[in-house]
Structure 1
């Protein structure tokens, strides 16, 4: 065993990768439908760190991993974050999380008079159960001594494991069976116009009558297919190509307009042909569809955008991202020109703009260094929470001149998962020695206190989400993840609620709750004379 320990301690990179591999092996173990997934990397890291105390890789490795994860989350969900923040739903989510965080903070302060803990130890437990390094740093900066670090090191594993287990318990208790939503695909219907109430209307007037989610992509008249224009006056026997991601809407359109006549348009492609291209060129990526200009002399129409595994009905506000597959109606003679415009390179969709990533991440880190004056409290810095805020903003604007901030979805997922795994492995290995040594000294008392604070944080947040604000379970899971803070909890939430809502909730809540946690301890220390 000494030889194994020496190997682990002299080869930190080997130890890191071994932790990742063993963590995923453990994470795949399924017990009655629950598996820890990437969260198991942390627990394997704790065990390896306890066995080989000097094996921890440099802290910068873990920080880089967390940076990649947070930056990827921000870039992908920026638009949803700002939309949610200004909506009633977003305000409710932040209010629910704030109730849980402040409740946990008050419970941690109650440990001081009830059980004789020092205030720095209780605030360290609060920081650890909320897995907030920035909060710990704020306590250490104001209160010299190791009490906060001890409380944090004991509470941190509970801050990760506790919410994971409680989320599983809540999903079982509420019998929340959330299936991954089926990927939407665009369906088409060729409808011959027979309704006399529609004949004589312009296409613009017809569009005003159609249900939301239905579009007219092309019109066939006098044996020729043509693109629809708003001033086109409809005639009897015009064939309209209707598109939608909802088959029921196509049936509704057929009943409104006339009768289905499949093949009338698709079998005649001499005027308009359908071509699907990858968006990989800077000429179109990062632009709204309304701003994309086709070359002179070419008329065409974007009728489909497929992102990831889902189709989206085009609208003028939709912004193209690298890797989107765009369906066009255009004369086949112009296909080559359109391929050049859009790029149509699979290789290009996998390439990252490291200039954009470097600038964006550097701006986020710089913002995190800026001390923010808080009246009556002092100055605080947001650290990596500021990086997430910057990434969310860049994800919202998508593009600044030649700089495209977004990245291909596949590349984003790879970077995020890689960063998360590295972060968990490094933190686990480095926390292992202190975790086990603290337990040996203090016994079970600090463990029980940490468990109590985790219960307050998760259960109060869940109560506010599910019973006060009546949120769906997948939304509530995202809010709980943002309130508790650790990305391993989010990874588990994506297993029990496989929709995009946990990710959006995390991105919406995490920055504001990081600030809330820091402000809480700063105010407590000012009031306590710290």
Structure 2
């Protein structure tokens, strides 16, 4: 065993990737339909760190992994974050998380008179239970002692492992019926126009009266197919090629316009034919569909955009990203120049602008260093929470001048999952010695206090999310993840709730709750000092 310990301690990179491999082996173990997934990497890391105390890789590796994860989350969900933040569900989610964080903080402070824990240690346990390194730094600076680090070292592993077990128990108790939503696929209908109310009207006026989510890709008239044009005046018996991702609204549009006549357009391809191209050229990537300029004389219409596993309707404000597959109706003679315009390279599915990533991440790190003055409290720095905020804003902007901030979904998933795995392995190995050493000195008392603080955070947030505000379960678990803070919990939540909502809930909550935790620590330290 000594030889194994020596090997692990002298080869930290070997230890890191061994932890990753063993973590995923244990993570695949399925118990009643639930497995830990990448979250098991942390548990393996704690065990290896306890066995070989000097085996931890440099902390910068874990920070880099967390940076990649947070940046990828922000870039992907920037637009949804800002929309959801002002939505009724977003307001409820933030309210539930604030109540959970403040409630657990008050309980941590109450331990001082109740059981005689020092204030700096209790604030450290609060920071550890909420897995907030920024809060730990704030506590140590405010209290001018390292007692917070002792409480943090015990509560941090509890703060990561506890919510995973809590979500496991909550899922087993409630048995939510969550099914991954089927990918949106484009549906088409060929509709002969017979409604007198639409005859003689411009196409743009007719589209405005159709159900939301319906587009007209082409019009057939006098035995010829024509691309849609807003100023086209419709005539009786024109055939409209309608598209939608919801069959119900397509049926409603058909009943409004006239009657189905399948084959009238698709069987005639001499004027317009269908082609699909990859968006890989900077002439189109980062631009909205309305801003794409086709070569003069080109007869072309965008029918849909496929991103990941879903078809997106061709809205004028839809911004193309690297790797999008664009379905077009185009004259065969123009297919070659259209391919050149879009690039049509499969490499676009993995295209990354490292210039944009470098500038975006550097900007986020710089913002995280800026001290923000809080009257009566002092100053605080947001750290990596600021990086997430910057990434969310860049994800919303999507493109700024020559910089394309977005990345293909496939590349984003690989980048952030790799970063998350490296972070979990490094943090687990590094925390293992402190965890077992502190338990050996304080016994189980600090461990129990950390569990109590964590349970207050989890229970208050869950109760308000699920039973007071009645948020959907998959969104609620994302909010719980954001309130507790650690991305390992989010990785597990994505397994028990396989939709986009856990990521969205996490993104809505994590930056604001990091600020709330820092503020609480500084206010508590200031009031106690006064």
Q: State the TM bucket, normalised to the shorter chain.
A: over 0.9
**Structure 2: distance between partners of 1:456 and 1:363:** 35
* Residues 80-107 of structure 1: CA deviation (Å, up to 9, x unaligned): 1111222332222111110000001001
Preserved contact between residue 190 and residue 264 of structure 2 (Cα < 8 Å): yes
Partner SS for 1:6: helix
Partner SS for 1:528: helix
Matching residue of 1:65: 65
Matching residue of 1:132: 132
Matching residue of 1:334: 334
Matching residue of 1:462: 462
Matching residue of 1:51: 51
Q: CA deviation at 1:256?
A: 2.4
> Where does structure 1 lack aligned partners over 5 or more consecutive residues?
none
Partner SS for 1:366: helix
Matching residue of 1:362: 362
Preserved contact between residue 142 and residue 526 of structure 2 (Cα < 8 Å): no
Matching residue of 2:350: 350
RMSD: 1.2
Compute the TM-score of the two structures, normalised by the length of structure 2. 0.98
**Structure 1: distance between partners of 2:397 and 2:360:** 12
Q: CA deviation at 1:267?
A: 1.3
**Structure 2: distance between partners of 1:288 and 1:304:** 13
Q: CA deviation at 1:225?
A: 0.1
Matching residue of 2:20: 20
Matching residue of 1:528: 528
Q: Given the alignment of the two structures, is residue 394 of structure 1 paired with residue 384 of structure 2, yes or no?
A: no
Compute the TM-score of the two structures, normalised by the length of structure 1. 0.98
Q: CA deviation at 1:323?
A: 0.8
**Structure 2: distance between partners of 1:88 and 1:252:** 29
* Residues 119-157 of structure 1: CA deviation (Å, up to 9, x unaligned): 011001000000001111111122243321111111111
> Where does structure 2 lack aligned partners over 5 or more consecutive residues?
none
Q: CA deviation at 1:283?
A: 0.9
Of stretches 141-150 and 38-47 in structure 1, the one that deviates more from structure 2 is: 141-150
Matching residue of 1:40: 40
Q: Given the alignment of the two structures, is residue 417 of structure 1 paired with residue 432 of structure 2, yes or no?
A: no
Alignment of 1:351-500 (within 5 A): 351-500=351-500
**Structure 2: distance between partners of 1:397 and 1:351:** 19
Q: CA deviation at 1:352?
A: 0.9
Matching residue of 2:316: 316
Q: How many residues align?
A: 530
Of stretches 283-292 and 168-177 in structure 1, the one that deviates more from structure 2 is: 168-177
Matching residue of 2:259: 259
Partner SS for 1:437: helix
Q: CA deviation at 1:349?
A: 2.9
Q: CA deviation at 1:332?
A: 1.3
Q: CA deviation at 1:245?
A: 0.6
Q: CA deviation at 1:230?
A: 2.5
* Residues 289-309 of structure 1: CA deviation (Å, up to 9, x unaligned): 111111122132111011100
Matching residue of 1:178: 178
Of stretches 226-235 and 64-73 in structure 1, the one that deviates more from structure 2 is: 226-235
Partner SS for 1:276: strand
Matching residue of 1:277: 277
Q: CA deviation at 1:214?
A: 1.1
Q: CA deviation at 1:202?
A: 2.6
Matching residue of 2:193: 193
* Residues 255-288 of structure 1: CA deviation (Å, up to 9, x unaligned): 2222222111111111111111111111111111
* Residues 353-381 of structure 1: CA deviation (Å, up to 9, x unaligned): 11110111000111111111111111111
